């Protein structure tokens, strides 16, 4: 008796059915600066694995508080490396799971062409009324901004002009809406798919602030969950790396 011969279409259909049966959902807390690339990564992740990533975007500081209060997140993509390490130490994160998924860059940006020079001298000019940045107590990019102002010797002089957002997204919105003439934001927020959005910016030298290593950590509720393991693996893949780099991050 001859063995049955399966067509390619039948094999693919069977594989798809099996994949669908195994598909799950992972709840991910995503640092605000990484929202745009993560939405793209989530779409590619679903195509490749059948699993869905349900994303919640916000500040790393607020996510920490929510996780400690029992929020049902399974994976945290933080804007720093300290929060994931702290969660592991405190028993809320899975030991050995943290890894750096991106290294962020800080920029001083204005939507006005020519307003921000390539050395950041505009900060000394007095030609603006408001400077936006994220809350340094909640957002690592906000902390990097305050470190930069201190390094430049401008922290005290510019304090009256500072407007603070609870996240780097809100800081960007202050600038984009015109509520502030310029602000410190993530490079990824003005850099997408290999192109820069309109405006002018200064890429802040890395020597002015501590490296913004953005780590992911599997949380207690995600331990041993197939969809979580699949997503952490996908974040390290060439496909995800290409997307991450297209938004101006290093790896």
pLDDT tens readout for residues 91-120: 999 999 999 999 999 999 999 999 999 999
pLDDT at 143 over 70: yes
Instruction: State the CATH class of domain 104-208.
Output: alpha beta
Q: What percent of the chain has pLDDT over 70?
A: 90
Is 220:93 a contact under the CB 8 Å cutoff? yes
Higher-pLDDT residue of 218 and 167 is 218
pLDDT at 58 over 60: yes
Confidence of residue 124 (pLDDT cuts 50, 70, 90): very high
Confidence of residue 22 (pLDDT cuts 50, 70, 90): low
| pLDDT of 179 | 97
Using only C-alpha atoms, what is the Rg of the chain? 21
In the chain, domain spans: 24-103+213-246, 104-208
| pLDDT of 196 | 76
CATH dotted code for 24-103+213-246: 3.40.190.10
Report how far Cα 17 is from the mean position of its chain's Cα atoms. 33
Q: What percent of the chain has pLDDT over 90?
A: 82
- Residue 121 burial (C-beta neighbours within 10 Å; 0-12, 13-18, 19+): exposed
Report how far Cα 245 is from the mean position of its chain's Cα atoms. 12
């Amino acid at each position: 008796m001859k063995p049955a011969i399966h067509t390619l279409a039948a094999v693919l259909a069977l594989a798809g059915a099996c994949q669908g049966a195994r598909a799950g959902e992972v709840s991910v807390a995503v640092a605000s600066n990484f929202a745009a690339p993560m939405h793209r990564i989530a779409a590619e992740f679903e195509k490749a694995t059948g699993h869905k990533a349900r994303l919640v975007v916000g500040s790393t500081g607020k996510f920490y508080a929510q996780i400690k209060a029992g929020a049902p997140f399974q994976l945290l993509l933080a804007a720093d490396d300290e929060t994931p390490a702290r969660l592991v130490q405190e028993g809320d994160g899975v030991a050995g799971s943290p890894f750096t998924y991106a290294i962020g860059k800080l920029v001083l940006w204005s939507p006005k062409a020519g307003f921000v020079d390539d050395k950041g001298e505009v900060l000394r000019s007095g030609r603006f009324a408001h400077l936006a940045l994220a809350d340094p107590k909640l957002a690592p990019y906000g902390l990097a901004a305050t470190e930069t102002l201190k390094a430049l010797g401008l922290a005290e002089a510019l304090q009256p002009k500072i407007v603070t957002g609870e996240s780097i997204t809100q800081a960007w919105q202050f600038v984009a809406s015109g509520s502030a003439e310029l602000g410190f934001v993530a490079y990824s927020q003005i850099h997408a798919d290999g192109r820069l959005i309109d405006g002018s910016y200064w890429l802040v030298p890395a020597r002015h602030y501590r490296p913004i290593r953005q780590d992911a950590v599997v949380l207690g509720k995600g331990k041993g969950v197939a969809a979580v393991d699949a997503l952490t693996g996908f974040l390290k893949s060439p496909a995800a790396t290409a997307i991450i780099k297209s938004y101006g991050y290093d790896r």
